[in-house]
Structure 1
């Protein structure tokens, strides 16, 4: 009785709202009103409807239908209702107006519905909406698949009114039916079909009973589809209203775009009363594909979704503790082993261990600060070098030895070497702090807006911690930091062994420890910057992840070159100047890449490669210019046969292979250039560093120099880690060069301890690989430590 009175009251109020005066009504009475002087008659027909029945109505500007639905206690006890309205006669100028009145809400829309797209919009003649109500206040506990979930209870049925401003009759079909499978159970896959005008949403409530293997208070929504129709997935609080149209779906909760794969990690702390999962296809695929791909005739999307409990707290802690334990264990094993092996194989670098047969010309002892006190800048160093080094004399020699290119005072070289360390520390400070500030701001914006498209996470393996959405990808960079610090300790320990300045001035390879320290700092900062990037990885900040990879590659090449060319090695100013240009090119390639840009870059790439080849082949004594080229040719090509036969056959052959590889890389970039220019540029640096290292080792073997056993073991470990790491890198879990939806197609489940994916494993393996490669460079020429420089060849 009370329900009937309430429905009558609602109908009366609705008619009163549209009338100039009140008229008593009955269930099937025609309602009439006069509008001022127009004397138009509006007939509001109140009819009864049955849930599941298709109501076919004809409406016009003078006739409105109000449909009252009686509750069906047998069918409507656990699921909400869904209203579907269809018409082929209505137009955008005179649409059908549908108003659905509920106990606590009013829902309205127009038909045909207009969905915006890049071509101005598409209209759909059918619309279907699920009616909203508060599931928390209309639910009872229910056991499903071993979990305690909520069973929804129905409110009073809705009242649907249909009207139009069209003069002609418009045929409308109205259907109210239950929404099947509205409540989501954990670990159960569901399939649903949706369109831009027929979105759907479903309810999930966090179970009360947790297990030791699953964290039911944090869950992961996994969404897959076989088609490319772009869709927005939204997670909203389980309360009214629900935003389930393209115009408003991004107003509330968490949301992301997807086409074939998507996922969101959801915590009970943000949705204490459960949440709605909303699926809304878009009018076109521009936001997902980046191109105008519209198929207005078929925007139906078939979606499969499942909600899985996240990793348990115990597994979370165990993964972190296991990682830290492995690093500590590595420190202990490596530290003890390296100390023992180094101590047994170490011959003190002092004159007393050389014997009477050593080829040695003593120098006058010089105090620690002599000469350096009179040199004020880097220009003075270069001036001194030019007065000592006769480049024409060097080019005229059939064989060049290290004594020809190591004439500078070792204290000058030491100070130049340490300038690399001060430069990189300055760059690290002024680059790292703004980066950290920016990405933390990105994370806060994501938390405030719910825009999951802002950060390109692997949503299927992203474990939050505090305000961080993806802690595991940040934490896995700890390897770079810890191994960088370990390398700094190894360099410091070796430097402490070098105390005899007279010995170091004439025997072995000149040690530029400042450059080694710079490499260690670069490895450490790679961990810091990569971790910062993974706080919120996206298209705009990829350089945060790769910048210090450029630094590592360039410093590696410069250090290898320095071993045999100490007097003519690049200064810190020129080296970091090159890095600045590289960073600029990387930014330009990301923001304004074009076909002409790729042509210009390819030309620069090839000519820079040729210039560096000439510098290596001519021992750094070749300069750009016709006059300089003539002098170089005159010193080397003394007979007609010399013009056809390379003077340094081994170097010529290996450098030719290196140039062919660079030409192939340049042509590939030109022909198959992608949006990922930064990765192409990084590949150029890394590949050339590896090729130069191979060239150096090959030349050592050709000149019958020995690679010590410890360095060889480290090289094997490094290559093994690098090969495995490259496999993990190629199995990427995101792609920042794609759209957010395109990046999600690479998302994958965790592969290690339910905590790390392939990219995390790449972090660990690449950190170990780079550490051992740096150790190889540090130890590579230990076989020459007691050989006089007049016997060490330059190549």
Structure 2
């Protein structure tokens, strides 16, 4: 039987409080749930932390270790081994310390061993197996690793330094390894002493070199008999850490990729400590040196067996040339081209003396004729006449005045006689035959007088525009030439690259001086001829007005300026030669070739030659295609198809322009007219071409250009700029050969001076091309492959084969310009209506 016991006051109060708590819990239930959940999570984290702390408690063992002793040991996550080393460092002797590690356990890639070398001023850490990444992030594991420790400098005469090697891993399984610390007795390189060593991707090597007294510049050369594996040679300052792995060797200093050879010129001023490190690293893959592309891994995280990539190399450090060799090189360069100034002065003196002799001889004959016709019949002796000439200079002026008058009368009579000898049936008597150019230029046999009808002042201004527009082009190009890059971007001949200031290959820049000096000399020669011709026009000299090839010097000024600019831009290109700035070296080559063709055509066609704006627009299009070819032409078949089609179309349009002397129209009726000409001339009556000579030239030109277009389309050469230059040179040589043949065929002759220039230029061009094709470097290949062609200097230990090409090509271009200037001097006394057009 249950009985009810009433609650006392205290119990009743406790029950009321419990009811209030329950009501609060019901009201704030969600908050209490989250509070309790957070409390549980916090409690779990604390327990986990305590468990981890208990689990991380491992055994640390420190051992006193010695050099040249191999330590075989096992490491797990529960133990850590520290090897303590000490060695004596001398300020006068530098010894390298090398760490060699081998992992002997299989499957260590999943839990590698971490090695940390703690030194006084540096820390080196690496894992074994060492995972190095290649192209497309492919992974290559290396179980054998060798690293050289950085050697911080010491100020004391001798000092004992300590370093520690910590070995640890997170693997719970034991991993067996071998550790060996050894000294590198040959750590310091000596001048002109070759040292051989072996390197691999996981075992890079570096050595120290100290500049000896009196040596400010050295050349570091690394050679190998093995083309592959691809390697990297780097020059770094004495500092820690040393970047000696494939993935960081390019971080600081200068570096070069190499197959068989590499060479870097090092200057003392770039290294405050008067010493540097020579670092050699073997790359994990060979693509940077032009080697084959390895296969792709099946999985992104798949490790690839790198195989045996050890490479034996030799390193030697040699002193560079002294300042005396620089001075000799400069004097040699200046002496060669100043000799042309001296030779030109001597030739001018000889020609002036011969001119004075001819004038004196003519004056003697002239005065003798006058004396012989005196009424009284008295005569003067030749000695008296000669004395009177030299005693009375005014007689020379009298002679010139009288001779010009007589020449005008004689030339006038000869011209009248030549005109009267022509039958009236031989030409059309229509009034417009002398004014309508459509009738004049369609004559079967044209003379220079037919194409020299425009006002001379208008033509002179027209051809002076060539020079003005060229100067504007020069200033624009010089403002954009600014190329920088590291040693692997610039394609030097590193075995003969002599630096000066910020210029890495000063000799390649100095050798371009010939273009500038000879271009200036050519301008002076043209100026002298221009002045003489202007004076002749001022005194109404009949020879200058109506005889010889019309003399317009604007194109000659443009050619001389282009030769000077070729030297300047070639020097800019050789600051850092590579495929991206090669168009600066070739731009004025295109212009020189184009200007020479225009000048040849202008000689016989002064009235219908292209204007400066049209000519430079075409040259700008050529340069534009050159840039496109460099950027997009390599292996791009679409580009080559478009270029070949445009090349053939341009050849056909130019052929039509030349054949019809510009008297045709490109409009909607062109196709109808072409069909009509083919029907009437080829099908209906099968008549031959009206202008045989022009047709022969144009057929040969089309054969050459179509062949070059087919070659480019089939072969798609990598060096598009040189291919384009070859097209220009082939057309220039073809037209020049045609001009010489037609000149001789027309009964004209080549004077002695012009013949000497032709023979001299041909010989020099032959030697120049020989040195050009030596190929000391080529940016069509990788930098490492290009350096395989590097060779030592051949002249004064300062100039290489390419410098000789600069010397000879500048002389050959100067000689070519002289040929164009003098080849028609034999026509100076021939009336223009007797000079044939071809």
- Verify the 8 A CA contact 2:681 2:688 in the aligned structure 1: no
* Corresponding residue to 1:134 among 129, 152, 157: 152
**What do residues 433-492 of structure 1 show as CA deviations (whole Å, max 9, x unaligned)?**
332xx24xx2xxx5xxxx322332222211111222221111111100000100000001
* Corresponding residue to 1:457 among 474, 492, 500: 492
> Structure 1 pair 640/667, CA: closer, same or farther in 2 (3 Å)?
closer
* Corresponding residue to 1:119 among 121, 129, 136: 136
In the alignment, structure 1 residue 431 sits paired with structure 2 residue 431: no
In the alignment, structure 1 residue 219 sits paired with structure 2 residue 218: yes
**Residue aligning to 1:321:** 331
Q: Return the alpha-carbon distance in structure 2 between the equivalents of residues 642 and 779 of structure 1.
A: 44
**Residue aligning to 2:99:** 83
* Corresponding residue to 1:299 among 283, 290, 309: 309
**Residue aligning to 2:653:** 611
Tell me by how many angstroms 1:103 deviates.
3.5
* Corresponding residue to 1:475 among 505, 510, 513: 510
In the alignment, structure 1 residue 201 sits paired with structure 2 residue 255: no
Alignment of 1:380-529 (within 5 A): 388-395=435-442, 397-435=443-481, 438-439=482-483, 442=484, 446=485, 451-498=486-533, 499-501=535-537, 503=542, 504-529=544-569
**Residue aligning to 2:274:** 273
SS in 1 for 2:135: coil
In the alignment, structure 1 residue 103 sits paired with structure 2 residue 120: yes
**TM-score when scaled to structure 1?**
0.83
> Structure 1 pair 192/671, CA: closer, same or farther in 2 (3 Å)?
farther
**What do residues 591-642 of structure 1 show as CA deviations (whole Å, max 9, x unaligned)?**
1121111121112222322333333344444454654984898699779797
**Residue aligning to 2:320:** 310
**What do residues 118-138 of structure 1 show as CA deviations (whole Å, max 9, x unaligned)?**
132322112110111135758
Higher mean C-alpha deviation, range 232-241 or range 293-302: 293-302
- Verify the 8 A CA contact 1:565 1:620 in the aligned structure 2: no
**Residue aligning to 2:36:** none
**What do residues 545-584 of structure 1 show as CA deviations (whole Å, max 9, x unaligned)?**
1111111111111111111111110000100100111111
Q: Return the alpha-carbon distance in structure 2 between the equivalents of residues 166 and 635 of structure 1.
A: 90
- Verify the 8 A CA contact 2:289 2:785 in the aligned structure 1: yes
In the alignment, structure 1 residue 557 sits paired with structure 2 residue 557: no
- Verify the 8 A CA contact 1:400 1:793 in the aligned structure 2: yes
**Residue aligning to 1:181:** 186
Higher mean C-alpha deviation, range 262-271 or range 609-618: 609-618
Tell me by how many angstroms 1:260 deviates.
2.5
More helix by share: 2
Higher mean C-alpha deviation, range 534-543 or range 333-342: 333-342
In the alignment, structure 1 residue 748 sits paired with structure 2 residue 766: no
**Residue aligning to 1:158:** 163
**Residue aligning to 2:778:** 735
> Structure 1 pair 642/792, CA: closer, same or farther in 2 (3 Å)?
farther
Q: Return the alpha-carbon distance in structure 1 between the equivalents of residues 156 and 733 of structure 2.
A: 66
**TM-score when scaled to structure 2?**
0.79
SS in 1 for 2:614: helix
In the alignment, structure 1 residue 534 sits paired with structure 2 residue 580: no
**Residue aligning to 1:20:** none
- Verify the 8 A CA contact 2:73 2:177 in the aligned structure 1: yes
Q: Return the alpha-carbon distance in structure 1 between the equivalents of residues 759 and 684 of structure 2.
A: 42
> Structure 1 pair 354/58, CA: closer, same or farther in 2 (3 Å)?
farther
**What do residues 405-433 of structure 1 show as CA deviations (whole Å, max 9, x unaligned)?**
11111111111011111111111122223
Tell me by how many angstroms 1:35 deviates.
7.5
> Structure 1 pair 355/697, CA: closer, same or farther in 2 (3 Å)?
farther
Larger radius of gyration: 2
In the alignment, structure 1 residue 236 sits paired with structure 2 residue 246: no
- Verify the 8 A CA contact 2:88 2:159 in the aligned structure 1: no
**Residue aligning to 1:24:** none
Q: Return the alpha-carbon distance in structure 1 between the equivalents of residues 294 and 825 of structure 2.
A: 62
Alignment of 1:247-286 (within 5 A): 247-271=247-271, 272-286=273-287
Higher mean C-alpha deviation, range 324-333 or range 723-732: 324-333
**Residue aligning to 2:172:** 167
Tell me by how many angstroms 1:357 deviates.
4.7
- Verify the 8 A CA contact 1:388 1:407 in the aligned structure 2: no
Q: Return the alpha-carbon distance in structure 2 between the equivalents of residues 715 and 690 of structure 1.
A: 13
SS in 1 for 2:792: coil
Q: Return the alpha-carbon distance in structure 2 between the equivalents of residues 154 and 198 of structure 1.
A: 28
Q: Return the alpha-carbon distance in structure 2 between the equivalents of residues 569 and 320 of structure 1.
A: 42
Tell me by how many angstroms 1:36 deviates.
6.2
Aligned length: 708
Q: Return the alpha-carbon distance in structure 1 between the equivalents of residues 731 and 409 of structure 2.
A: 41
In the alignment, structure 1 residue 67 sits paired with structure 2 residue 83: yes
Tell me by how many angstroms 1:252 deviates.
2.4
**What do residues 710-746 of structure 1 show as CA deviations (whole Å, max 9, x unaligned)?**
0111111111111111111111222233333333233
Q: For structure 1, which runs of at least 5 residues remain unmatched after alignment?
A: 1-33, 140-152, 211-215, 363-384
Q: Return the alpha-carbon distance in structure 1 between the equivalents of residues 603 and 347 of structure 2.
A: 26
**Residue aligning to 1:56:** 72
Q: Return the alpha-carbon distance in structure 2 between the equivalents of residues 39 and 738 of structure 1.
A: 57
SS in 1 for 2:500: coil
SS in 2 for 1:488: helix
Q: Return the alpha-carbon distance in structure 1 between the equivalents of residues 255 and 783 of structure 2.
A: 12
**Residue aligning to 1:30:** none
